[in-house]
Structure 1
Amino acid sequence: MAKKNENIVPLLPLRGLLVYPTMVLHLDVGRERSVQALEQAMMDDHLIFLTTQKEVSIDNPEEDDLYKMGTLTKVKQMLKLPNGTIRVLVEGLNRAEIVQFYDEEDYYAVELSIYEDDESANVEKQALMRTMLEYFEQYIKLSKKISSETYSTVSDIEEPGRLADIVASHLPMKLKDKQEILEIIDVKERLDRVIEIILNEKEVLNLEKKIGQRVKRSMERTQKEYYLREQMKAIQKELGDKEGKTGEISELTEKIEGAGMPESAKNTAIKELDRYEKVPSSSAESAVIRNYIDWLISLPWSKETKDDLNIHKAESILERDHYGLEKVKERVLEYLAVQQLTNSLKGPILCLAGPPGVGKTSLARSIAESLDRKFVRVSLGGVRDESEIRGHRRTYVGAMPGRIIQGMKKAGTNNPVFLLDEIDKMSNDFRGDPSSAMLEVLDPEQNHNFSDHYIEEPFDLSKVMFVATANNLGTIPAPLRDRMEIITIAGYTEQEKIHIAKDHLLPKQLKEHGLTKGQLQVREDAIQSIVRHYTREAGVRGLERQLAALCRKTAKILVSGEKKRVVISGKKLVEFLGKPIFRYGQAEQENQIGVATGLAYTTVGGDTLQIEVSLSPGKGKLVLTGKLGDVMKESAQTAFSLVRSKAKELHLDENFHEKVDIHIHVPEGAVPKDGPSAGITITTALISALTDNPIRKEVGMTGEVTLRGRVLPIGGVKEKTLSAHRAGLKTIILPKDNEKDIDDIPDSIREELSFVLVSHIDEVLKIALAGDTE
């Protein structure tokens, strides 16, 4: 590569522009230093060095702001424009590199190292030139921004270096890439680089073309659909169908967008909407699809209420609406406290278990109010079909979602208090097991992804606070019971019932019957008399009915004009409600032989059982009557065997069982009775009858007995104790292992009863039998 003598020439910096050798170009020059450089060049030999600024935004560039490699050019023509700018025509001569930089005050001058291209065309260069021209021709055809005349001009060039520069000047490259080409001195290397750039540009143009065709096809399809829809609209208008489905579709699309569905559910809804649009309105499938879309839109996928985490307000609401029930209230307040600390707690699954009428359902409503959540109730009594919970497949006629999804739609939020009423009343048959379907609903690990057969899209139930109610936990399958937090609500004491009647039931009935406190006054002794003589229940439903009867009779008196105000005392109660239905206190009036008072637990609370034993001459038959279940019959057999083993100790004839027939009867024969807790009661009655020793009338007892005479623990101590108190008993015999359960009994009841804890039947006999047991 030959090298010219080094020269010092004026410098003209370019902004966003680059000149290759052999190029002829017009430039507009406006900067003062650049104008001075031009004038100096015109005074000398018309030579000026052009190089590009690295940053376009710099107004007065210094040495470091310019590329070292540029082009030595000759000023061919210079013209001053009216606005003070100078238009210059320059011709590129050679590549040149700055060796030394001079600041001449009015302009910059540079000492250059000038390079000339080696234009000898060997075979390799010729091959590269042909390849470049071929690719450049293909590029021109794809680009359509370069005229075919340009190709004709370029194809006539025989010098390899000049060809590379001219082709590069026509390519849409960034300034940085153009500078890179300018800085390549070696001609072969320059040809290779320009070919590489042409190939890259060709690929980009091909891709642009494909994208353009795809967009065009999409636009054509959209225009076609729009045209067809407009035609359909016009046809429907002519037919009097107003807007047909078109308006409906756009309305449904808006609703789908605003429903806050997860992405998968949204995609399903849009897909179904597309089907709905294509299916004729007269088709039966159209209604099915529309119904499904409506369900998807109406579910509260992301709507939730904000919990009112004011623990004091919640406590006051629970205290206002419910008297007693401390465990449940405490559990709700604990949940609120944890929610306030974490703000991410999954909804608990509570099961309120207890007899009817104790306020389980109304308690769930109060929980919702205290949390400031929506409340929804679903009754599960009699549900025996799995699809009631999970919904029906959409292929069935009249298919609907299950009760859980229906409840969520009714609630309108995804975090309501959801009451599953009477969960113990579900049954199963050939249509499936609904209690098994409930496992997914009530499992905190699964219910964030609950799948309904109708909806088919997973729905999140993890924020729901489920509250179930049950009368009898025994009928709930163990796996389902395991998923719930059981809170037992026992029956109310007499004092609690009086309090509830005064503060809740009577004001409610007065309001429902259009009465005021001034028109009807029910004194406390009258309420106590209703509780004792007109109701026998664990809850307060019967008590409410009797108060309603008082209100009805009062209304009649007031309307007929007999009186303006009615006051009901205990003595006047018979006039309004008739004679007492129940005898207060079932305890025997005197000590009796062979009659023991047992304590039983039923689904409606506690109750007392009179177990009677009668002896008659015979051959040792044991007769059991009173509709006893298998467990109770076995308890009687165990008691009989125990008495036989203790015959000598009880001073009985060792062969007594061969001489007498024993009849054990539990009155109220129509009521089924079963359970092991009557063991010690049957044994005591049997021994009393055989030894002719009376049983103390004020003693009630409960406990399972073994063949060795051990007394084992039983359940339902609180309910049994309340029934004993109602019956007027004074002494309660309990198994020693049930000592912990005494704490659950209200203080007012504990003070009036005497509890005796026993571990062997001998201890029972010492307390229960009135005579000598030795």
Structure 2
Amino acid sequence: MSTSPFPKRNLPLLPLRGLLVYPTMVLHLDVGRDKSVRALEKAMVGENLIVLASQTETNIDDPEPNDIFRMGTVARVKQMLKLPNGTIRVLVEGLSRAKVLEYTETDDHYEVDIFEIKEKEDTDPEVEALMRAVIQQFEQYVKISKKANQETVAAVTDIEEPGRLADAIASNLTLKIKDKQAILEAVDVKTRLETLMRILSDEREVLELERKIHQRVRKQMEKTQKEYYLREQMKAIQKELGEKEGRQGEVEELRKKLAKLTLPEAVQEKVEKEIERLEKMPATSAEGSVVRTYIDWILSLPWTEATPDEIDINKAEQILNDEHYGLEKVKERILEYLAVQKLVNKLRGPILCLVGPPGVGKTSLARSIANSLNRKFVRVSLGGVRDEAEIRGHRRTYIGALPGRIIQGMKTAGTINPVFLLDEIDKMSNDFRGDPSSAMLEVLDPEQNSTFSDHYIELNYDLSKVMFICTANVMHNIPRPLLDRMEMIYIPGYTELEKLHIVKNHLLPKQLEAHGLTKEKMGLSDETILKVIREYTRESGVRNLERQIGALCRKTAKQIVAGEKKRVTITAKNLNNYLGAPKFRFGLAELEDQVGVVTGLAWTETGGDTLSIEVAIAPGKGKLTLTGQLGDVMKESAQAAFTYIRSRAEQLKIPTDFNEKNDIHIHVPEGAIPKDGPSAGISMATALVSALTGIPVSREVAMTGEITLRGRVLPIGGVKEKCLSAHRAGIKKVLLPKDNGKDIDDIPESVRKELKIVLVEHVDQVLEQALVRE
């Protein structure tokens, strides 16, 4: 066969994506690209002829000439229909092969100069043989693939022209564009038939492989189904015979788990023995589930898995500073631990106990410590725990026995070196079920906890690598032996300045995010925050303060959603509109100097507080009355102060027979709240002297200290908390026992600057500082 080109002609070109049109083919095309539509319109203006050429890559949306094959097909546009979605559906008929010589237009649409190749169909014996071989290959391909029907095969085999036969077969094959293009570019019929033979042969081999794989998968599925059927039959037979059902599978599963773990030798032996016991037990045995649960617990506990400590002092310090403001002593202790750990590499976990009022961040600090160490964090609350088994676990003889909270916590952690928080350790109690605080001794003793024994596990468990952190509100509720095993770190509370920083850096961003707000939508100045701190909260921590910030966010959110405002600015002046009337009076505990009224300083479980002590003198027979739910120690302090004043009546210029002609009433307001402690001694003595002499007590002075019968002032506890409460109340001068001078360094510098602290060792000095003499 020979080919002869037509004279050169110019036609519009339509690039095709993932599609190729052979001569004599009739098919529909959907045209949507702008250039293609314009090329189609150009063709319709002329002879309805257009060149169809395929793109080399289908993912190119706007192809350049280099992205389009040079061999294409001249086609006649027989029909054109515009679809509702804007595309055009075209019916085209391939006429002849054409070689693109040159692009004459590429901007508005593609237009090319082409040589149209006309085929001369002439057959010789070799071509005839190739045709028969191709038809045979095609029939086998159809038989295997089933992608074409017999009618198609019959229609193809009726074609006598070799070139057209090759094109017809190629159009019915599912081939890649490059393979179809190779057939289109094969102008010589022999070459075209040989190319088609090679492609058909390759396709047939791939199809044969697919068929074999499919048969193999099918056989495998049949085998699996058969095995499943046989297993079910075996189960039914075992059930009828009363034999154990599925026990062997359970045991095999447990042995596989055991093989994957690295356990201490004693633990390995124990588990192997228990698995052997389980294997010999009948399915009806109630003990089987107990043994299975026990083995599961042993295998799920971490025995050797540990997280590597990322000991970077600077990074740890940065994490602690970012997540907590203040608390310098605690941070310093953690960094010391890290430094030693880095030098030694083996250090028993310290037992730290964070003691402080609620809301100062004890629990969150423990979480930050875990982050800084890159360790797992586990928290167990001990509040209200009364049963020793909660700590040590139940023995396996009991139904529903479980390990104690310590072992449960270690399972949750999944490592042998987590940061383990024992929350509210001062809230444990005891009853007839044992004393859990005694059980905690072994947990928290660094010398013993490497061999901690849980009643359920019955194996020594190493807790020495765990970093235990305990929290408590008060120290005196913790049993002395337990206290001896812990390192106490006190967190007394925050100053106004610290609270302001905490609100700005932590609480406010947290509440804004929780309420779907941003700083652009809600304005809150430092002055407003200070007013909230002073007039709407009176606490050592920041929990109630966070609630008040949350209330402001809620009311802001309501105004924005209701469309009242786009941005809400809360100022000190309009704060009352959001939080109501102030709950506390900020400023001096008393508004003016008063006779017989002294501001004392008290320590409570929720931090320091100010306490008014009032004395009234009335005609009578010397009766001393004490009210305000005072404890025994406080009553004794009142008696001591009264006796001291009687012994010093002459020097104090008080009638020596005042106790015979007057009744004296000492009252501490907030009578519903029990009060006790020796630190109100000098406060009561000052109030008595003021009431008996008629000299007022300065409203700017607050005091604390124990009194003796000779007028000496003895040291007391809670100095930092008491000074913080005095600062919160706006007191200017605080009288402290001289022996408490060592505690002044614990008071934050910002508080020390605003408080005048006077150290006294005798009541005479107290009276000199407190009484307002003309």
Same fold (TM over 0.5): yes
User: Relative to 1, partners in 2 of residues 1:233 and 1:277: Cα closer, same or farther, differing over 3 Å?
Assistant: farther
Gaps of 5+ in 1: 1-230
Contact 2:642 2:685 in 1 (8 A): yes
Paired residues, number: 542
* Counterpart Cα distance in 2 of 1:233 and 1:297: 30
State the match for 2:38 in structure 1.
none
* Counterpart Cα distance in 1 of 2:675 and 2:587: 21
Q: Map residues 210-249 of structure 1 onto 2, 5 A cutoff.
A: 235-236=234-235, 238=237, 244-249=246-251
State the match for 2:657 in structure 1.
655
State the match for 1:450 in structure 2.
452
Q: CA deviation at 1:254?
A: 2.1
Output one character per residue of 1:492-520: Cα deviation in whole Å (capped at 9) or x when no partner: 00011011001000100111111122111
Residue 411 of structure 1 pairs with residue 413 of structure 2 = yes
State the match for 1:366 in structure 2.
368
Q: CA deviation at 1:237?
A: 6.3
State the match for 1:251 in structure 2.
253
Q: Map residues 525-536 of structure 1 onto 2, 5 A cutoff.
A: 525-536=527-538
Which residue of 321, 324, 327 maps to 1:322? 324
Residue 689 of structure 1 pairs with residue 691 of structure 2 = yes
Range with greater deviation from structure 2 (612-621 or 277-286): 277-286
Question: Structure 2 counterpart of 1:425, which letter?
Answer: K
Q: CA deviation at 1:768?
A: 0.5
State the match for 1:375 in structure 2.
377
State the match for 1:354 in structure 2.
356
* Counterpart Cα distance in 1 of 2:431 and 2:355: 25
State the match for 1:504 in structure 2.
506
Question: Structure 2 counterpart of 1:474, which letter?
Answer: H
Residue 464 of structure 1 pairs with residue 463 of structure 2 = no
Output one character per residue of 1:324-346: Cα deviation in whole Å (capped at 9) or x when no partner: 00000000000000000000010
User: Relative to 1, partners in 2 of residues 1:443 and 1:553: Cα closer, same or farther, differing over 3 Å?
Assistant: same
* Counterpart Cα distance in 1 of 2:629 and 2:671: 5
State TM-score, norm by structure 2.
Answer: 0.69
State the match for 2:581 in structure 1.
579
State the match for 2:643 in structure 1.
641
Residue 311 of structure 1 pairs with residue 313 of structure 2 = yes
Output one character per residue of 1:446-502: Cα deviation in whole Å (capped at 9) or x when no partner: 000000011110100000000000001010011101100000001100011011001
Q: Map residues 705-720 of structure 1 onto 2, 5 A cutoff.
A: 705-720=707-722
* Counterpart Cα distance in 2 of 1:424 and 1:463: 24
State the match for 1:625 in structure 2.
627
Q: CA deviation at 1:628?
A: 0.8
Larger radius of gyration: 1
Contact 2:244 2:283 in 1 (8 A): no
* Counterpart Cα distance in 2 of 1:300 and 1:655: 77
User: Relative to 1, partners in 2 of residues 1:234 and 1:264: Cα closer, same or farther, differing over 3 Å?
Assistant: farther
Question: Structure 1 counterpart of 2:617, which letter?
Answer: L
State the match for 1:427 in structure 2.
429
Question: Structure 2 counterpart of 1:535, which letter?
Answer: T
Residue 671 of structure 1 pairs with residue 673 of structure 2 = yes
State the match for 1:734 in structure 2.
736
Output one character per residue of 1:125-151: Cα deviation in whole Å (capped at 9) or x when no partner: xxxxxxxxxxxxxxxxxxxxxxxxxxx
Contact 2:244 2:282 in 1 (8 A): no
Q: CA deviation at 1:238?
A: 4.2
Q: Map residues 264-275 of structure 1 onto 2, 5 A cutoff.
A: 264-275=266-277
SS of 2:460 mapped into structure 1: coil
Which residue of 549, 552, 556 maps to 1:550? 552
Contact 1:233 1:243 in 2 (8 A): no
* Counterpart Cα distance in 2 of 1:597 and 1:259: 66
* Counterpart Cα distance in 1 of 2:262 and 2:701: 66
Q: CA deviation at 1:370?
A: 0.1
Which residue of 340, 343, 348 maps to 1:341? 343
* Counterpart Cα distance in 1 of 2:641 and 2:358: 33
Residue 616 of structure 1 pairs with residue 618 of structure 2 = yes
Contact 1:375 1:416 in 2 (8 A): yes
State the match for 1:48 in structure 2.
none
* Counterpart Cα distance in 2 of 1:613 and 1:656: 14
State the match for 1:745 in structure 2.
747
Contact 1:624 1:663 in 2 (8 A): yes
* Counterpart Cα distance in 2 of 1:647 and 1:485: 48
State the match for 1:541 in structure 2.
543
Output one character per residue of 1:140-166: Cα deviation in whole Å (capped at 9) or x when no partner: xxxxxxxxxxxxxxxxxxxxxxxxxxx
Output one character per residue of 1:396-443: Cα deviation in whole Å (capped at 9) or x when no partner: 111111100000000000000000000000011111111111000000
Range with greater deviation from structure 2 (585-594 or 492-501): 585-594
State the match for 1:295 in structure 2.
297
Output one character per residue of 1:520-572: Cα deviation in whole Å (capped at 9) or x when no partner: 12111111110001111000000000011111111111111111111111111
> Quick one: percent identity of the two aligned structures?
67
* Counterpart Cα distance in 2 of 1:453 and 1:259: 23
* Counterpart Cα distance in 2 of 1:470 and 1:239: 59
State the match for 1:607 in structure 2.
609
Q: CA deviation at 1:765?
A: 0.6
Output one character per residue of 1:616-654: Cα deviation in whole Å (capped at 9) or x when no partner: 111111111111111111111111111111112112222
State the match for 1:524 in structure 2.
526
Contact 1:385 1:434 in 2 (8 A): yes
SS of 1:732 mapped into structure 2: strand
Question: Structure 1 counterpart of 2:328, which letter?
Answer: E
Which runs of at least 4 in structure 1 moved beyond 3 Å after TM superposition? 231-235, 237-243
* Counterpart Cα distance in 2 of 1:665 and 1:565: 50
* Counterpart Cα distance in 1 of 2:587 and 2:610: 10
Question: Structure 1 counterpart of 2:674, which letter?
Answer: P
Q: CA deviation at 1:655?
A: 2.2
Contact 1:259 1:301 in 2 (8 A): no
Q: CA deviation at 1:234?
A: 7.8
SS of 1:680 mapped into structure 2: helix
Question: Structure 2 counterpart of 1:373, which letter?
Answer: R
Contact 1:601 1:607 in 2 (8 A): yes
Question: Structure 2 counterpart of 1:673, which letter?
Answer: K
State TM-score, norm by structure 1.
Answer: 0.69
SS of 1:567 mapped into structure 2: strand
SS of 1:472 mapped into structure 2: coil
Question: Structure 2 counterpart of 1:703, which letter?
Answer: G
* Counterpart Cα distance in 2 of 1:754 and 1:628: 29
* Counterpart Cα distance in 2 of 1:459 and 1:625: 55
Question: Structure 1 counterpart of 2:341, which letter?
Answer: Q
Contact 1:415 1:463 in 2 (8 A): yes
Which residue of 562, 569, 572 maps to 2:571? 569
* Counterpart Cα distance in 2 of 1:497 and 1:414: 37
Q: Map residues 266-285 of structure 1 onto 2, 5 A cutoff.
A: 266-285=268-287
SS of 2:315 mapped into structure 1: helix
State the match for 2:488 in structure 1.
486
User: Relative to 1, partners in 2 of residues 1:270 and 1:521: Cα closer, same or farther, differing over 3 Å?
Assistant: same
SS of 2:626 mapped into structure 1: strand
Contact 2:611 2:668 in 1 (8 A): yes
Question: Structure 2 counterpart of 1:319, which letter?
Answer: N
Contact 1:237 1:243 in 2 (8 A): no
SS of 2:461 mapped into structure 1: coil
Contact 1:424 1:472 in 2 (8 A): yes
* Counterpart Cα distance in 2 of 1:275 and 1:545: 57
SS of 1:616 mapped into structure 2: strand
Contact 2:638 2:681 in 1 (8 A): yes
Contact 1:558 1:565 in 2 (8 A): yes
Q: CA deviation at 1:771?
A: 1.6
Contact 1:314 1:371 in 2 (8 A): yes
Q: Map residues 127-142 of structure 1 onto 2, 5 A cutoff.
A: none
* Counterpart Cα distance in 2 of 1:282 and 1:662: 81
* Counterpart Cα distance in 1 of 2:290 and 2:619: 77
* Counterpart Cα distance in 2 of 1:243 and 1:366: 50
Question: Structure 2 counterpart of 1:359, which letter?
Answer: G
State the match for 1:132 in structure 2.
none
State the match for 2:597 in structure 1.
595
